[in-house]
Amino acid sequence: MALTNRCNVPLIINDRLDIALAVGAAGVHLGQDDIPLAAARRITGKDFIIGVSARYPKDALTAEREGADYLGTGALFPTGTKADAGVIGLRGLAEVLSSVSIPVVGIGGISPANAQDVITAGASGIAVISAILSQDDIYGAAATLRAIVDTQKDKEPR
């Protein structure tokens, strides 16, 4: 957290609201099997960032209605990180995007080869693990993905 604070980046803890609160993180990302969003929101208040995993429009709408700040949607492509993650593809992402007005982050199998497609489809950002951590040059891999996202965002109409 010292590093994220120094870089002015909010720390979001995956799955564990208790740890997020204990360390003073900016927020938590909840999966469908984690503490329910409504309960988490009652505990944290409105200024705490809560993201929710939502693969389908129905789940996305529920999360938005219950106060999610953003959604994580995927797996967009096959991924070795979560072998059991069903792939919804860019079509599934588009369905979720069209159902909500909160930011949606694409996740699952995203790489430099397809990151632009995710942003072009309308995602607010990307979430990756192996696209960075499995590379010899972690900094370079992160910088490449950041440049792809930023370049595509710059092309969006204002």
The alpha-helical segments, DSSP class H, found in 46-114 are: 57-65, 89-99
Mean pLDDT for the stretch of residues 145-154: 86
Cβ within 8 Å of residue 15, ≥6 positions away: 28, 29, 30, 31, 34
Q: What is the pLDDT of residues 106-142, one digit of tens each?
A: 999 999 999 999 999 999 999 999 999 999 999 999 9
Secondary structure class of 78 (helix, strand, coil)? coil
Q: Is 25 left (phi over 0), alpha (psi -120 to 50) or beta?
A: beta
Cβ neighbours of 72 (radius 10 Å): 26
Asked if CATH classification 3.20.20.70 holds for the domain at 70-158, the reply, yes or no, is: yes
**pTM for this structure?**
0.90
What residue ranges do the domains of the chain occupy? Answer: 1-53, 70-158
Instruction: Provide the token pair at 75.
Output: 């797996």
> What pLDDT is recorded for position 79?
85
> What pLDDT is recorded for position 80?
78
What Rg do the C-alpha atoms of the chain give, in angstroms?
16
